[in-house]
Amino acid sequence: MANLIGINLAMQTTFNESGEVDYNAYEKLIEQYIEAGVHGLVLGAGSGQHPYLTEAECNKLYEIGIKRINGRVNVICQTSALNVDEVIRRSRHAEKAGADALMILPPYFEGPTDDDGLFEFYREIDAAVSIDIVGYNIPQSTQISVSPELLSRLQGLKNFNYIKDSGGDFTIHQQYIQSGGGVLNGCDTIALYAFLAGTKGAIWGAANYMPRETVQLFNFVQEKQYEEALALWNKMLPSLLLIQTTNYIPSVLYAAHLRGFGTGILRKPQRAITEQEATVLKAALQPLLNG
């Protein structure tokens, strides 16, 4: 079982002005994030605009990324797809390339939504790979909620050892933790409280623009420096609340570019934030920039 404790940064994908993946910028960015102290990188994450990447692009990102990372931090590759055979093909490729774990969404468009159907989906994938599977609960995007009861069943599979919970329901999050499995918070605005509740760590999109701060927050909680954690959290929270309630990915990439991480370029159909939105975001970032 991979040790995914800590901050697993849901890494952006770097694009050039023509909308092509900029692999040189991508390797530079990996170095920046590792230098910032993150415990893991999630390649092909939602924050990396996974739905708008081809399978070939994902495979190349994973191969280049894993080689560049070279065991210095954990590597989680998102291998989500609607077709089960494609998920298995993508997953086996990532495993062969050297991934430590796979992040896989449930069948998010007109697939099964009942517990038995979801269990079978993951069971078939689990049987085809030999590394950890990180399930993914994000009901606001998939219209599927992984129940605590289903999570307990899934934990009986040989490789299903973690779940990323982006749902934001703190009651369910704590039920997940009580199940005894590996829980990684994915909802930015409850991160501090998830750490206090005992979650193993996070798969965190906003870490793209504040990698050092997210690591420091996690470390403060581990070291029981709660006053310091709360003070840092209060600097982080204004921008977290804003991005969570507006255009998440465009805002994260804008903030990251502003702070020197990545190219800031989106792939269509994503659209850049407006000048007015940028002004509001800069104001929300001020507590971080000032201290």
User: 204 pairs with which residues across the strands?
Assistant: 9
Q: What is the DSSP string of 25-94?
A: HHHHHHHHHHHTT-SEEEET-GGGTGGGS-HHHHHHHHHHHHHHHTTSSEEEEE---SSHHHHHHHHHHH
Contact 235, 287 (CB under 8 A): yes
pLDDT (0 to 100) of residue 291: 58
Pick from 214, 220, 221, 216: nearest CA to 261: 214
Contact 101, 109 (CB under 8 A): no
pLDDT in tens, 210-250: 999 999 999 999 999 999 999 999 999 999 999 999 999 99
pTM: 0.96
pLDDT (0 to 100) of residue 180: 87
d(CA 212, CA 234): 15
Domain 6-226: CATH class, spelled out: alpha beta
CA dihedral 175, 204, 134, 74 (to 10 degrees): -130
What is the residue extent of each domain of the chain? 6-226
Contact 163, 134 (CB under 8 A): yes
pLDDT (0 to 100) of residue 20: 96
d(CA 12, CA 41): 10
Tokens of 93: 């490729």
Contact 108, 77 (CB under 8 A): no
pLDDT means per 10 residues, the chain with 291 residues, are 95 96 98 98 96 97 98 98 96 98 91 92 98 95 92 97 96 95 96 98 98 98 98 98 96 97 96 97 93 58
pLDDT (0 to 100) of residue 152: 96
